[in-house]
Copies of this chain bind each other. A is one copy, B any other.
Amino acid sequence: METDSYMSELRERGYRITGKRREILGYLLRNDRYMSARELIEYMKDRYPTMSYETVYRNLKTLRDEGIIEESQFADNEAKYRMACQSGHHHHYICVACGQTMVIEHCPMPELCVPDGFQVLRHRFEVLGYCQNCRAVESK
């Protein structure tokens, strides 16, 4: 199972493997889209009644710091998370309704002439809209 390889990797970096950490990562793995901590908490509370939101927040932070998941803020004031892409650098079409993503292979960075003195840390290119599914729902 894919979760296991991530877990082994975490163990190698000195983290422990707990059922809850595994469950959180598993849910992110099974759902290839952006989701909020709140959403994750609600799901977890059902399936895993002793799961607390602090645990979710702490694990999300850990997973993000270890580069296993990505964080973005594209709606409201809450952060959203998804599995970090393992397959090379790219960007995303993001559905603002369901968080589903599609890959944008093209990265605009190589074409830029970065101004003298500006030190690039990171960049963000996101195309936001409705995916086919949510578009149908919205227009009904």
Give residues in A with beta carbon < 8 Å to B: 73-74, 77-79, 93, 95-96, 102, 104, 106, 108-109, 111-112, 114-132, 135
Copies of the polypeptide in the assembly? 2
Q: Nearest chain B CB to A90's CB is how many angstroms away? A: 12
Alpha-carbon distance A79/B74, docked complex (angstroms): 11
- Inter-subunit contact B132/A74 (CB<8 Å): no
Q: Nearest chain B CB to A102's CB is how many angstroms away? A: 5
Residues of B within 8 A of A127 (CB): 109, 112, 114, 118, 120, 123
- Inter-subunit contact B135/A114 (CB<8 Å): no
| A interface SS class | mixed
Residues of B within 8 A of A78 (CB): 77
Contact of A120 among B77, B117, B129 (CB under 8 A): B129
- Inter-subunit contact A93/B114 (CB<8 Å): yes
Contact A130 B123, CB 8 Å, known A93-B114, A111-B106, A112-B104:
no
Closest to A131 in B: B118
Closest to A79 in B: B77
Residues of B within 8 A of A135 (CB): 117-119
